[in-house]
C-alpha cells in the first residue's frame, strides 16, 4: 500500500487488478456496451484510486468482496439451466440502470447493505428499498425477507 501511495506503478497494479473485473462487469451491466464499459472503467480507475487506497488501509478488499459457490441445480438439465439464465438476463436487462446497479452491488458483488448504499450513493434505507423493489420486479411474489436478508 505504501509503495502504491508513493507512486510505485507495479504496487499500484497489484492493488488495482482485483477490482478491474468486477468494475468492468458492473459497467457492462449498466451501459450494455462492452467498448463503452472499457472506457468508463479506465477513467474511473484513475479517479477513484486514492479513495479506494484509503479504504483498503482500513479494511482488506477481500473482507468486502465475497463470491461463494452457487448451490447445485439438482435434477435440472443443462438446457433448462441455460434457458433460466437467459430469462434472468432478459429480465435484468429490462430493468432501469439504477435497479440493475442495486441488484448487481448487493447480489452479484455480495456487498453488505451499507457498502451497497455507498456504491449507489444513497442512504441505507433508500438502498434497501431500491434492492427490494428491483428484486420484486424480477420476481413479483418475492417477500422482503427473501430480497434483503440472505
Q: Above 90 in pLDDT, residue 128?
A: yes
Q: What is the dihedral of CA 150, 115, 31, 69, to 10 degrees?
A: -40
Condensed to tens digits (0 to 9), the pLDDT of residues 93-125 reads: 888 888 888 988 888 888 889 888 988 899 999
Distance CA 26, CA 40 (A): 10
pTM to 2 decimal places: 0.47
- Number of Cβ within 10 Å of residue 102's Cβ equals 27
Distance CA 48, CA 7 (A): 15
User: Could you tell me which residue, 15 or 38, shows the higher pLDDT?
Assistant: 38
Condensed to tens digits (0 to 9), the pLDDT of residues 46-79 reads: 675 556 555 555 554 444 444 444 555 556 777 8
Amino acid at each position: 500500500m505504501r509503495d502504491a501511495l508513493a507512486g510505485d506503478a507495479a504496487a499500484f497494479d497489484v492493488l488495482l487488478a482485483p477490482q478491474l473485473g468486477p468494475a468492468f462487469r458492473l459497467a457492462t451491466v449498466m451501459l450494455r456496451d462492452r467498448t463503452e464499459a472499457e472506457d468508463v472503467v479506465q477513467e474511473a480507475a484513475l479517479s477513484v484510486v486514492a479513495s479506494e487506497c484509503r479504504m483498503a488501509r482500513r479494511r482488506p478488499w477481500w473482507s468486502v468482496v465475497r463470491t461463494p459457490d452457487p448451490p447445485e441445480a439438482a435434477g435440472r438439465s443443462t438446457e433448462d439451466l441455460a434457458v433460466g439464465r437467459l430469462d434472468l438476463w432478459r429480465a435484468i436487462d429490462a430493468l432501469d440502470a439504477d435497479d440493475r446497479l442495486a441488484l448487481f452491488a448487493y447480489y452479484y458483488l455480495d456487498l453488505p447493505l451499507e457498502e451497497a448504499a455507498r456504491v449507489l450513493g444513497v442512504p441505507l434505507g433508500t438502498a434497501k428499498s431500491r434492492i427490494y423493489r428491483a428484486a420484486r420486479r424480477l420476481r413479483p411474489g418475492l417477500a422482503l425477507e427473501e430480497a434483503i436478508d440472505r
